[in-house]
Structure 1
């Protein structure tokens, strides 16, 4: 939660509060948010907790699997779709962050594959 003290009331309007909320770096300081409770179509109850880490990883997966150009993430229409569809708690990364995330996931998957190949009997050549 933000620790800044902001004036309100009197001659101070609320526009500065809105601008501060939009810019405040502490508003999404937690990678995990409060659980969301909802109902399934058949009447059951479900709980969902938003995670920025999971959301970014799934964004990487989407861009790689669907072969979407990285510059698409910077387009206003795409960002609006993400915010309106997934909620304001999801902060979509910029294209450079997306690129770095793709490389990070690739390296993690590569390590996992190497470990898998080591456990397979026989010889497997990899670099």
Structure 2
């Protein structure tokens, strides 16, 4: 997020966040991020014995969600917001099976609260 805030600077909200260097007043082309990522992977693979497989921006997005939920223990609502999904149900439908947060931790907390109250 800090990098995006720095990128945005004090530009007017009507300006493009990622303007085209070729076309005045336009944004970068839709395919530009994937092309830039492909070029970066090709450069990174120079001299490697085990090459990095082809990546796409969408694949990186999917990887972010999967690792956040399965390894980092993030919750679905936070990941949904980070990914800009319109509804958390979209994230749940796609990545819900990866979330380690389930009913057991909640039930343990409720059991502890009930035990304290008794």
Sort the TM-score into its range (normalised by shorter chain). 0.3 to 0.5
Higher helix share: 2
Determine which structure has the larger strand proportion and give its number: 1
In the superposition, the TM-score normalised over structure 1's length comes to: 0.33
Greater relative contact order (Cα < 8 A, sep 6+): 1
Q: TM-score, normalised by structure 2?
A: 0.35
